[in-house]
A and B are shown apart, each in its own frame.
Chain A
Amino acid sequence: MIKILDARKKQMYEKGKGDFDLACEKTSLAGSVSQRACVFCGSRVVLYPVADALHLIHGPVGCAAYTWDIRGSLSSGPELHRLSFSTDLREQEVIYGGEKKLYAALTELIAAYKPKAAFVYATCIIGLIGDDVQAVCAKVQTESGIPVIPVHSEGFRGSKKDGYKAACEALFRLIGKDEITPVPKQSINILGDFNLAGETWIIKEYYRQMGVEVVSCITGDGRVDEISRSHHASLNVVQCSGSMTHLAKMMEDTYGIPFKRVSYFGIEDTADALYTVARYFDDPLLLRNTEELVRTEVDRIYPEVQRYRTFLENKKAAIYVGGAFKAFSLVKALRHLGIQTAIVGSQTGNREDYEYLKEICDEGTIIVDDTNPLELSKFMLEKDVDLLIGGVKERPIAYKLGVAFCDHNHERKLALAGFEGMLNFCQEVYSSIMSPVWQFSPARINSNLHSKWHRGSKDEAPEAYNQYVEDHPQAGTRDAANEGDMMNANWNKHIIDKEIEGERNERNNKTAVC
Chain B
Amino acid sequence: MKEMRETIRQRSAKKEPRHFISTRNACKLCAPLGASIVFRGIENCIPLIHGSQGCSTYIRRYVISHFKEPVDIASSNFSEQSAIFGGGDNLKTALDNITRQYHPEAIGIATTCLSETIGDDVNLYIDEYCRSKKDVNIPVLIHAPTPSYRGTHMEGYHEAVKAIVETLAESGPRIDSINLIPGFLSSEDLRYLKEILSDSGITYIMLPDYSETLDGESWSEYQKLSAGGTTIASIRTTGRALATVQFGRSLDRHETAATCLEKKFGVTARSTGIPIGIRETDLFFNIIEELTGALMPLKYEKERGRLIDSYIDGHKYVFGKRAVVYGEADFVASMTSFLDEIGIIPALCAAGECTGRFRELVQSGIRNSHEDILILEDIDFESMAETCQTIGADIIIGNSKGYALSRKLGIPLVRAGFPIHDRIGGQRVLHVGYRGTQQLFDRIVNALIEFKQNSSSVGYSYI
Which chain A residues have a beta carbon within 8 Å of chain B's beta carbons? 1-3, 5, 7, 27-41, 56, 59-69, 83-91, 93-94, 101, 104-105, 108-109, 112, 124-125, 128-129, 155-159, 372-374, 377-378, 381, 392-393, 395-397, 399-402, 440-443, 445-446, 473-474, 477
Contact = CB atoms under 8 A, between A and B. Distances in A.
A460 B37 CA distance: 48
Contact of B53 (A38, A94, A108): A38
Given A90-B150, A373-B72, A59 B113 contact: yes
A38 B76 contact: no
A38 B32 CA distance: 16
A373 B90 CA distance: 20
A156 B70 contact: no
Interface stretch (B95-103, B122-130, B198-206, B439-447): B95-103
Given A31-B48, A31-B94, A399-B218, 19 more contacts: A31-B96, A36-B53, A62-B33, A64-B23, A65-B29, A88-B23, A91-B147, A108-B21, A125-B149, A128-B117, A156-B51, A156-B78, A156-B83, A158-B80, A378-B222, A393-B57, A396-B70, A443-B222, A446-B220
A116 to B, nearest CB: 18
A410 to B, nearest CB: 10
19 contacts: A2-B101, A3-B100, A33-B101, A37-B53, A61-B26, A62-B32, A62-B58, A85-B22, A86-B22, A89-B149, A105-B22, A109-B20, A124-B117, A128-B117, A155-B54, A373-B70, A400-B70, A446-B221, A473-B221
Nearest to B48: A31
A68 B25 CA distance: 7
Interface stretch (B59-67, B179-187, B257-265): B59-67
B222 A34 contact: no
B21 A29 contact: no
Nearest to B226: A400
B77 interface: yes
A401 B82 CA distance: 37
Give 7 nearest A-B pairs by CB, closest first. Answer: A38-B54, A62-B30, A31-B94, A31-B97, A155-B52, A442-B220, A105-B22
Contact of A83 (B25, B30, B82): B25
B25 A34 contact: no
Interface string B77-109: 111101100000011011111101110000000
Nearest to A101: B21
B21 A105 contact: yes
Given A90-B150, A93-B149, A446-B221, A35 B382 contact: no
A41 B59 CA distance: 12
Which residue, of B54, B69, B70, has the highest number of chain A Cβ atoms within 10 A? Answer: B54
A1 B77 contact: no
Given A27-B79, A64-B23, A156 B52 contact: yes
Contacts of A156: 51-52, 78-80, 82-83, 114
A34 B79 contact: no
Contacts of A155: 51-55, 78, 114
A84 B54 CA distance: 17
A112 B401 CA distance: 22
Interface residues of B, number: 74
B28 interface: yes
A401 B222 CA distance: 7
A441 B217 CA distance: 10
Nearest to A129: B117
Contact of B26 (A37, A65, A105, A158): A65
Contacts of B74: 31-33
Given A66-B58, A156-B80, A30 B113 contact: no
Contacts of A441: 218
A61 B97 contact: no
Which residue, of B52, B147, B150, has the highest number of chain A Cβ atoms within 10 A? Answer: B52
Contacts of A39: 52, 54
Contact of B23 (A5, A37, A85, A400): A85
B22 A61 contact: no
B26 A86 contact: yes
Given A32-B97, A37-B54, A156-B78, A374 B61 contact: no
B83 A128 contact: yes
Contacts of A33: 56, 72-75, 101
A36 B102 CA distance: 19
Contacts of B65: 392
B28 A61 contact: yes
Contact of B28 (A63, A65, A158, A477): A65
Contacts of B334: none
A83 B95 contact: no
B224 interface: yes
A6 to B, nearest CB: 8
Contacts of A381: 222
A59 B113 CA distance: 9
Contacts of A29: 77, 93, 97
Contacts of B95: 31
A400 B70 CA distance: 8
Given A31-B97, A40-B54, A108 B29 contact: no
B20 A31 contact: no
Nearest to B62: A66
Contact of B147 (A60, A109, A397, A399): A60
Nearest to A441: B218
A27 B22 contact: no
Contact of B101 (A28, A32, A401): A32
Contacts of A30: 75-77, 90-91, 93-94, 97
B54 A31 contact: no
Nearest to B60: A393
A161 to B, nearest CB: 12
Given A31-B74, A374-B224, A392-B61, A41 B30 contact: no
A112 B28 CA distance: 23
Nearest to A109: B22
Interface string B30-50: 101100000000000000100
A392 B26 CA distance: 22
Interface in B135-156: 147-150, 152
B24 to A, nearest CB: 6
Contact of A88 (B22, B60, B69): B22
A287 B400 CA distance: 49
A443 B118 CA distance: 45
A95 to B, nearest CB: 9
Contacts of A91: 147, 149-150
Given A30-B75, A33-B73, A2 B224 contact: yes
B96 to A, nearest CB: 7
Which residue, of B24, B73, B98, has the highest number of chain A Cβ atoms within 10 A? Answer: B24
A482 to B, nearest CB: 17
A3 to B, nearest CB: 6
A396 B64 contact: yes
Given A124-B112, A393-B61, A63 B22 contact: no
A195 B222 CA distance: 36
Given A61-B26, A377-B222, A31 B98 contact: yes
B191 interface: no
Nearest to A40: B54
B219 interface: yes
A85 B222 contact: no
A201 B129 CA distance: 55
B189 to A, nearest CB: 21
Contact of A34 (B20, B58, B77): B77
B68 interface: yes
Contacts of B82: 156
A192 B113 CA distance: 32
Contacts of A64: 23, 26
A254 B401 CA distance: 43
B69 A128 contact: no
A2 B58 CA distance: 25
A71 to B, nearest CB: 11
A32 B100 CA distance: 10
A109 B21 CA distance: 9
A445 B21 CA distance: 56
